[in-house]
């Protein structure tokens, strides 16, 4: 019977494991290595299919439910730490990840079934799980053709879920960058994108399915949906205005009026989400008032910029400070009809 119990498929950070086994959550000393030990029990933390944070990129891989694993640089079969973990009665827990910044996924208890004399040592571990599981098999990155199916409305819905406290996802807190949402709230980019990807593709998308970063499709698609990505912990001088489109800014003059208007009327990313939803439903963007199809009229896809998004039910002056925007409360209008609606709302004509 094992001394420690973890949940197969659940994600853990190194300090989580250290705390759970009674070492206070430390990640120094013994716990800074690739296979720390506690009371004779070994905990393997390994990267699969990518380099670790030290830069070493060993050919760790899953073969069915077995893990083919390398020890650290210079490790040999006869080393005491290796001998201890490959003993038939050893208790060895395996945690793995495919990205050097992600938490580790628990793969189960492991028993050494094959050990080579290579340097670093190579071990085939048989894992305790009895059924194949996506979390225990190599997962390829999603191709660009799949990632490009994620629309602005998927991103917007993912943001709303996270803002509402949704936590049933496999993504950790951000480390370097944040997605800037309404009222300066910050969200982890991989969580936003991963949840949006699940909505778009119809299956559970894991951290290892895609990468994040300044040049990644993940960041490009989030920003195109109207949500700026900012450096983590960097103080924003004016988070309300950062990244807002001209369409969001054109109705007011002066920064103070603009900030108030945006805070009360615009939910960040709502205009892009509404357009994406509308185009998906009807196949094109057109004015819901006059029926103008700008692409047909002007003969270019660039003419879609003539379509703008307007609140059709609640006037800005009647909105409460905690007003929540719903996509169904928005409508697509051509620039002319949009301007007329605002003139009518202001009582100018």
pLDDT for the residue numbered 44 = 96
Domain 11-136 - what CATH class?
A: mainly beta
pLDDT for the residue numbered 173 = 85
DSSP one-letter code for 71: -
C-alpha to C-alpha distances, 237 to 139, 179, 242, 254, 285, nearest whole angstrom: 40, 16, 9, 17, 35
The β-bridge relationship of strands 66-70 and 61-63 is: antiparallel
pLDDT for the residue numbered 65 = 73
Sign, CA torsion 26/30/36/39:
negative
Write down the domain spans for the chain: 11-136, 140-243, 244-349
- Could you tell me if 98 and 107 are in contact, meaning their C-beta atoms sit under 8 angstroms apart? no
pLDDT tens-place values along the chain, 349 residues long:
789 999 888 889 999 999 999 999 999 999 998 899 999 999 999 988 665 555 455 778 877 678 899 998 899 999 999 999 999 999 999 999 877 777 898 989 999 999 998 999 999 999 986 554 544 444 567 888 899 999 999 999 999 999 999 988 888 888 889 999 887 889 999 999 999 999 999 988 887 788 888 889 999 999 999 999 999 887 655 544 444 444 444 444 444 444 444 444 456 788 899 999 999 999 999 999 999 999 999 999 999 989 998 887 766 555 565 566 788 888 999 999 988 887 777 664 4
pLDDT for the residue numbered 344 = 79
Q: What is the largest CA-CA distance in the chain?
A: 89
Q: What is the DSSP string of 199-236?
A: HHHSSPPPGGG---STTSHHHHHHHHTT--EEETTPPP
Rounded to an integer, what distance in angstroms lies between the CA atom of residue 23 and that of residue 343? 66
CA 277 to chain centre: 21
Identify the three-state secondary structure at position 308.
Answer: strand
Beta-carbon count within 10 A of 10 CB: 14
pLDDT for the residue numbered 349 = 45
pTM: 0.55
Rounded to an integer, what distance in angstroms lies between the CA atom of residue 134 and that of residue 237? 43
Rounded to an integer, what distance in angstroms lies between the CA atom of residue 308 and that of residue 320? 23
C-alpha to C-alpha distances, 168 to 6, 152, 165, 172, nearest whole angstrom: 18, 21, 9, 11
- Could you tell me if 93 and 69 are in contact, meaning their C-beta atoms sit under 8 angstroms apart? no
Tokens of 328: 């169904």
Write the CB contacts of 282 (distance below 8 Å, at least 6 apart in sequence).
none
Identify the three-state secondary structure at position 40.
Answer: coil
């Amino acid at each position: 019977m094992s001394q420690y119990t973890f949940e197969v498929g659940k994600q853990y950070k190194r300090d989580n494991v250290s705390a759970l086994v009674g070492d206070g959550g430390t990640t120094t000393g013994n716990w800074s290595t690739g296979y720390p030990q506690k009371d004779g029990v070994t905990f393997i933390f390994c990267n699969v299919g990518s380099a670790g944070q030290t830069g070493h990129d060993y050919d760790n891989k899953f073969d069915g439910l077995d893990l083919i694993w390398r020890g650290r640089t210079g490790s040999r079969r006869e080393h005491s730490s290796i001998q201890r973990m490959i003993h038939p009665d050893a208790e060895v827990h395996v945690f793995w990840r495919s990205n050097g910044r992600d938490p580790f996924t628990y793969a189960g208890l492991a028993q050494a079934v094959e050990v080579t004399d290579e340097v670093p040592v190579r071990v085939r571990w048989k894992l305790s799980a009895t059924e194949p599981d996506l979390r225990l098999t190599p997962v390829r990155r999603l191709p660009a053709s799949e990632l490009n199916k994620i629309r602005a409305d998927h991103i917007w819905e993912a943001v709303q879920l996270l803002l509402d406290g949704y936590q049933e996802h496999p993504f950790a807190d951000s480390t370097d960058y944040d997605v800037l949402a309404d009222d300066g709230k910050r969200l982890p980019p991989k969580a936003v994108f991963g949840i949006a990807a699940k909505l778009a593709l119809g299956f559970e998308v894991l951290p290892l399915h895609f990468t994040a970063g300044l040049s990644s499709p993940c960041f490009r698609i989030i920003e195109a949906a109207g949500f700026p990505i900012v450096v983590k912990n960097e103080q924003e001088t004016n988070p309300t205005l950062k990244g807002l489109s001209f369409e969001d800014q054109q109705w007011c003059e002066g920064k103070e009026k603009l900030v108030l208007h945006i805070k009360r009327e615009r939910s960040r990313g709502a205009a892009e989400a509404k357009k994406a939803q509308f185009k998906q439903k009807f196949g094109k963007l057109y004015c819901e008032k006059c029926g103008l199809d700008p692409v047909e009229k002007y003969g270019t896809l660039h003419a879609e910029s003539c379509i703008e998004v307007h609140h059709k039910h609640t006037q800005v002056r009647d909105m409460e400070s905690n007003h929540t925007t719903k996509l169904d409360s928005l409508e697509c209008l051509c620039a002319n009809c949009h301007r007329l609606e605002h003139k009518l709302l202001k009582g100018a004509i």
